[in-house]
Amino acid sequence: MDYKAFISETRDKSRNLAKAMPDTMKGFGGLSMAVKSGGALGVREKEFVALGIAVAVRCEPCIAFHVEALMKAGASREEMVDVLSMCIQMGGGPAVMYAGKALECWDQLAAA
């Protein structure tokens, strides 16, 4: 999969949703901003949690967005691999499959 293109296409779909349901998407955007600002955890730690949940619920668009956000937040590949290890421990075989997708996404985005 080409994750850069996938992220771009997913963003386009979100923009279409924002046009169709502006109040809902504005509310979701506000929630996203609110949970990332302040609090005991930094953005990087919060993005690690989000990636773990994305792997657990098998949401490939979420995986791509949170891997990208982790890279922007200064996370390392090794830190992400530790998080993916916990995902596998908690989620078993299905988590193995989606952890592989997260690692592939990281490697593609890092090479770009």
CA distance 93 to 21: 36
Which of 6, 3, 32 lies closest to 18 in space, CA to CA?
32
The enclosing domain of 82 has a CATH number of 1.20.1290.10
State the average pLDDT over residues 83-105.
93
- Greatest pairwise CA separation for the chain in angstroms: 40
Number of domains the chain contains: 1
Over 90: is that where the pLDDT of 81 sits?
A: yes
Over 90: is that where the pLDDT of 13 sits?
A: yes
Full-model pTM: 0.89
Range of the domain at 55: 3-111
Over 90: is that where the pLDDT of 112 sits?
A: no
Please write the tens of the pLDDT for every residue from 22-80.
999 999 999 999 999 999 999 999 999 999 999 999 999 999 999 999 999 999 999 99
